[in-house]
Amino acid sequence: MIYVLFILAVFSATFLNSNISTVLGYENNVTTVAFLPLTLFIIIQLMRKKIVILKKDNNSSRYVLLASILILFFKLSYGQYDMFKTILLFSFIPYTFAMYLEHASCKEKTVLQNVLIALLVTECLLAVYERVTLTVLLSTEETYSSMNRAGDTWSFRSSALFGHPLGNAMLVSVINIYILSSNLSPLRKISCFAIAIIALLCFNERGNIVITLATSLPLLIKLYNDASKKFRRKILWVCFPLLLAGVVQLPQSDLGGRLFNEKSGKQDNSTMARLEALTAFKYLSTSEVLIGGNNLNDKVADKMDLAAVENGIISILLDYGIILGILLLGLLFCFQKDKLRVYPWWNKWLILLLFYGIGFTNPHLSNPMQWFIFVCAYYAFRPNLKNKVYGRK
């Protein structure tokens, strides 16, 4: 029964925390539908003492939880009751679940792997279908039309499961780099990488594509060097011609999108928007800068005449305030750095570079879903290395 609840919890928290729930009629209860099974699972495991907060290997998770309690009391004392759900999803649920996943069984790890791979494939297939048909499946045209208002095929951006192309692209990139860093077979790694890159082209997010390619390349080179001679020959005879064809064709086709189209630089001001995000605090009072608030991202975006604050770090600081926001970000980074010690030092920094490189140019870093996927992908694809820790650089 608990195993079935685990499967339901993981599936709901990943697939139903999307526009699928909206289509099913749960528009006003997406969070409840998505995270209720996981919350119930966590409560049961706490009661069964399967989650022990005071365990030594839960230190980094525990510090995040303690900081979240401090932030929650601080926010409630200032009457920011709308922050309760955000803090619950951003900190309490992911890092309490992380304590359970630290000692999850191989069977549960396999479930987590399969769900995340299914999520990746679903995201990518939806993105490709939308790009080929130039239609939006799950997002409503009213909320999504501003993304595609140019009306040109090169500028079209798929919406897939989670609506905004930036949020989708970041999620796909995070799962991809964990798969490339895993013990999965070379064929599965290359297959997942290929569909991820195609999907990123459909999401049409330039910075994300460049960062994903740059951080994936060392892992692909390692994969090639570690592969058997027979598999290397297959890569050279199959993958290399496809790669070459893609390099030649993409700049000349609409699929190259905003990355290659010369009109992109003239019609798109996203680079300036990301630079302007660094000046966000000048639009706020001292108390707003220190305390933060759920409405400040929208307030600053309105002042700047932008759709959003195009910087995930700044978005988090606007939500939580400059002091507690820096504390929370510092503890989250320590959690990531601590857990990623199971990888070689260069691999660890590639994962962090991808996550924060994309997040620095993407407001969706402040979305709890991105951090939840980071945690789940880490435990799903973490190498099975017993008592072995790589360089701590």
What is the model's pLDDT at position 245?
62
What is the model's pLDDT at position 64?
93
Higher pLDDT pick, 271 / 162: 162
What is the model's pLDDT at position 212?
95
pLDDT at 357 over 70: yes
What is the model's pLDDT at position 54?
76
Separation of alpha carbons 10 and 4, rounded Å:
10
Q: What is the mean pLDDT of residues 102-129?
A: 94
Residue 70 — pLDDT band, cuts 50, 70, 90? very high
Q: Convert 205-240 to b/e letters by CB count within 10 Å (16 or more is b).
A: bbbbbebbeebbeebbeebeeebeeebeeebeeeee
Higher pLDDT pick, 145 / 200: 200
Percentage, residues of the chain above pLDDT 70 = 84
Nearest Cα residue to 255 out of 144, 167, 155: 155
Higher pLDDT pick, 262 / 140: 140
Kindly give, in sequence order, each residue whose CB lies less than 8 Å from that of residue 271, ignoring residues fewer than 6 positions away.
none
Residue 390 — pLDDT band, cuts 50, 70, 90? very low
Separation of alpha carbons 214 and 177, rounded Å:
11
**For 20-67, what is each residue's pLDDT tens digit?**
988 888 877 888 889 999 999 999 999 998 888 877 778 899 999 999
What is the model's pLDDT at position 137?
85
Asked whether the beta carbons of 220 and 180 are under 8 A apart, the reply is: yes
Residue 369 — pLDDT band, cuts 50, 70, 90? very high
**For 143-192, what is each residue's pLDDT tens digit?**
555 555 555 566 688 888 988 888 999 999 999 999 999 999 998 999 99
Q: How far is CA 350 from CA 174, 196, 312, 356, in A?
A: 11, 17, 18, 10
Q: What is the mean pLDDT of residues 218-226?
A: 91
What is the model's pLDDT at position 52?
84
What is the model's pLDDT at position 138?
82
| Domain ranges within the chain, ordered by starting residue | 1-50, 124-268
Q: Which of 40-54, 123-137, 173-187, 222-236 has the highest mean pLDDT?
A: 173-187
Residue 228 — pLDDT band, cuts 50, 70, 90? confident
Higher pLDDT pick, 238 / 7: 7
Q: Give me 353's structure tokens.
A: 């570079």
What is the model's pLDDT at position 362?
83
Percentage, residues of the chain above pLDDT 90 = 49
Separation of alpha carbons 85 and 92, rounded Å:
10
